[in-house]
Amino acid sequence: MSLKSVSELVVLDLGSGMAPALAGGVLGGLGARVVRIEPAPTDLFTSAHPAYEAWYADVERADVPELSHWLERADVCLLGGESHPDVRPLVSADEVVKANPKAIVLDFEQDALDHGLPAHDLLAQARSGLCFEQYDDRPVPWAFPAPTYGAAMLGLVDVVASLIERRSTGRGSVLRARLSQGAALWCVSDWVSVDQDPYGITKRVPRGVQPLVFECLDGAFVHLVMGVPGAFARVSAALDLPWDGDDTGVGQGDAARGVRNYFFPDFDRLATRIAELPHGHVMKVLREVGIAVERVEPPGVVWDDEQTKANEIIEDAPGGWERVGSPIRVKKRVPAPSGAASKRSGGESAGLERLRVVDLSAYVAGPLASKLLSDLGTDVIKVEPPGGDPNRGSPHFFAAANRGKRSIVVNAKSPEGLEVIRRLCDRADIVHQNFRAGVAERLGVDPASLRGPDGSLVTLEAPGYGSRGPKVKAPAFDPVMQAICGFQHNFAGRGNLPAPYRHPVIDYGAGVMGTLAMLLGVLEQRHGGGSVEFEVSLYNVAMFMMSELVRGEDGRFVGAKVLDSTRRGFHPWESLYETEDGWIALVAPTDSMARALATALDLADELGPRRDWAERERDLIAERISALTTDKALEVLHTAGVWASACVTDGWREMARDPQAHADGSVVTVEDPDAGTSTYLGGLPYLSVDKGSRVRVEGPRVGEHTRQILLELGYEPARIEELYETGAVQ
Q: What is the DSSP string of 98-142?
A: HH-TT-EEEEE---GGGTT--S-HHHHHHHHTGGGSS-SSS----
pLDDT of residue 340: 53
How far is 706 from 469, CA to CA, in rounded Å?
38
pLDDT in tens, 27-69: 999 999 999 999 877 667 887 889 999 999 999 999 999 999 9
How far is 315 from 54, CA to CA, in rounded Å?
11
| Domain identity same for 213 and 292 | yes
Helix, strand and coil percent figures for the chain, each rounded to 5: 40, 15, 45
Instruction: Examine residue 451 and state whether it is found in any structural domain, yes or no.
Output: yes
Residue 420 has φ and ψ, to the nearest 5°, of -60, -45
Q: Assess whether pLDDT exceeds 80 at residue 706.
A: yes
| Domain identity same for 75 and 199 | no
Lowest mean pLDDT of 162-171, 295-304, 465-474, 556-565, name the range: 162-171
| Domain identity same for 246 and 275 | yes
First to last CA, the chain: 45
Note whether 158 and 177 are within 8 A (CB).
yes
| Domain identity same for 407 and 492 | yes
pLDDT in tens, 412-462: 989 999 999 989 998 899 999 998 878 888 888 888 888 766 667 999 999
Higher pLDDT, residue 439 or 583: 583
- CATH code for position 295: 3.40.50.10540
| Domain identity same for 168 and 84 | yes
How far is 655 from 371, CA to CA, in rounded Å?
22
One-letter identity of residue 33:
R
Mean pLDDT of 508-533: 91
| Domain identity same for 147 and 218 | no
- For residue 195, how many other CB atoms are within 10 A of its CB? 12
How many helices and strands, by DSSP H and E, does the chain display?
28, 27
State the average pLDDT for the chain.
90
Instruction: Examine residue 427 and state whether it is found in any structural domain, yes or no.
Output: yes
Lowest mean pLDDT of 182-186, 250-254, 605-609, name the range: 250-254
Which residue, 185, 220, 252, sits at the end of a domain? 185
- 353 confidence band (pLDDT: 50, 70, 90): confident
pLDDT of residue 193: 94
> Which burial class, exposed, middle or buried, applies to 427 when counting CB atoms under 10 A from its CB (0-12, 13-18, 19+)?
middle
Domain count across the chain = 2
Instruction: Examine residue 26 and state whether it is found in any structural domain, yes or no.
Output: yes
Lowest mean pLDDT of 78-92, 254-268, 300-314, 473-487, name the range: 254-268
| Domain identity same for 476 and 393 | yes
| Domain identity same for 514 and 475 | yes
| Domain identity same for 384 and 511 | yes
| Domain identity same for 37 and 168 | yes
**283, HSE (Cβ side, Cα atoms, 13 Å):** 21
Q: Computed from CA positions of residues 690, 693, 697, 699, in that sequence, does the dihedral angle turn out positive or negative?
A: negative
Mean pLDDT of 137-162: 96
| Domain identity same for 152 and 238 | no
Instruction: Examine residue 273 and state whether it is found in any structural domain, yes or no.
Output: yes
Note whether 361 and 462 are within 8 A (CB).
yes
Laid out side by side, the sheet with 33-36 consists of 60-61, 33-36, 10-13, 76-80, 104-108, 173-176
Instruction: Examine residue 316 and state whether it is found in any structural domain, yes or no.
Output: yes
Which residue, 490, 521, 550, sits at the end of a domain? 550
- For residue 495, how many other CB atoms are within 10 A of its CB? 7
- CA dihedral angle for residue 68, residue 72, residue 78, residue 84, rounded to 10 degrees: 10
Candidates 154, 485, 475; CA nearest to 313 is 485
Which residue, 550, 568, 592, sits at the end of a domain? 550
Candidates 335, 303, 324; CA nearest to 529 is 335
Stated as kind and residue range, the H or E segment containing 104 is strand 104-108
Candidates 161, 140, 143, 159; CA nearest to 151 is 159
Candidates 718, 686, 694, 729; CA nearest to 157 is 686
pLDDT in tens, 164-215: 999 888 889 999 898 988 999 999 999 999 999 998 999 888 899 899 999 9
**What domain range includes position 275?**
192-550
Note whether 107 and 176 are within 8 A (CB).
yes
217-226 burial code (b ≥16 CB/10 A, e <16): eeebbbbbbb
Instruction: Examine residue 586 and state whether it is found in any structural domain, yes or no.
Output: no
- Strand 583-587 and strand 574-578: pairing? antiparallel
> Which burial class, exposed, middle or buried, applies to 240 when counting CB atoms under 10 A from its CB (0-12, 13-18, 19+)?
exposed
| Domain identity same for 67 and 200 | no
